[in-house]
Amino acid sequence: MKVLSTVEAFRQWRAEAVDPLGFVPTMGALHAGHRSLMERARADCASAVASVFVNPTQFNDPEDCRSYPMTLQEDLAMARETGMDAVFTPSFETLYPDRYRYRVTENEHSSALEGAHRPGHFDGVLTVVMKLLQIVAPHRAYFGEKDWQQLDLVRGMADAFFLPLEVIACPTIREADGLAMSSRNRRLSAAGRDLAPEFHRALAESSTALEARERLAAAGFSVQYVEDAGSRRLAAVELEGVRLIDNIPLAATSAAAASHPLKGAVS
């Protein structure tokens, strides 16, 4: 597996790589969710690449960026295990020679939900994803459904700019107790970790977003939003100062179960 950190070195490698190429962009601190994306890219494509870059422009809170876990050696080991052919590990200077003078902005959906609580977040995400896609030039790029709004905005950007690639959505990977895998989970104390699965349970077991919000607040979460939008229930909370996000299909909530025509017909 090649570990490449400059655009020139990556493009040289890319020129020889067998098509189609699958790409998994990450910020490192890889967990089973990332593993599933890399496995999918590996299974689907003749060549597979991941990137590891903690992108400062998508952190609205500098402290959140500073405390983001950095585990490059473990990340490379996981990439190797899943059969990645190369990992791109650029520096800030490599990816931002313009020092972020140029950026990609979406000005409707990106200011809602995550965007309302993290001003500038999606400018940073879309800009870095666009830069990475220009360098990596993949046929398919893999994104997790846990970051639903990110997935939706990246899809929209790919369409808007006629990017010649497919954006592939991959299901959220959860711990056995339902907590969505996240690099941030490791910052919870043992007590926080015990409480955290209540986040997913409250989303799934409440009939309305308001009910879920109240249940979470009563359990000790600081709720940023719970909203039903389109086909999903999306939410963000803070627990012990750690920001957690999750979303589920509305069809999987108890509201859907309550309105199902077979309700009560099966026990």
Catalytic site positions: 34
Give the residues across from 238 on adjacent strands: 222, 243
Residue 75 or 147 with smaller CB distance to ligand PAF? 147
Which three-class secondary structure string do you get for 10-48? HHHHHHHCCCCEEEEEECCCCCHHHHHHHHHHHHHCCEE
Q: Does 38 bind ligand PAF (CB under 6 A)?
A: no
Size of the site for ligand PAF (CB under 6 A): 10
Query: How many C-beta atoms surround the C-beta of residue 224 within 10 A?
Result: 18
Binding of residue 27 to ligand PAF (CB under 6 A)? yes
Q: Kindly state the DSSP code that residue 237 receives in the 8-state scheme.
A: E
From candidates 26, 82, 89, 149, binder to ligand PAF by CB under 6 A:
26
125 binds ligand PAF (CB under 6 A): yes
Spatial strand order of the sheet with 140-144 comes to 2-4, 86-88, 47-52, 21-26, 140-144, 166-170
List the one residue out of 23, 14, 40, 52 whose CA is nearest residue 141. 23
Rounded-to-integer distance, Cα 172 and Cα 243, Å: 17
Measured from the CB of residue 129, what is the shortest distance to ligand PAF in angstroms? 6
Q: Is-contact 26 15, C-beta < 8 A? A: no
- Judged by phi (left if over 0) then psi (alpha if -120 to 50, else beta), residue 264 lies in left
Nearer to ligand PAF, 110 or 150 (CB): 150
Give the range of 21-29, 64-72, 82-90, 207-215 binding ligand PAF by CB under 6 A: 21-29
- Choose the stretch contacting ligand PAF; rule: CB under 6 A; options: 72-80, 123-131, 172-180, 240-248: 123-131
**Residue 136 contacts ligand PAF per CB under 6 A:** no
- x/- site string to ligand PAF, residues 52 to 91, per CB under 6 A? ---x--x---------------------------------
Q: Which residues bind ligand PAF (CB under 6 A)?
A: 25-27, 55, 58, 125, 128-129, 147, 150
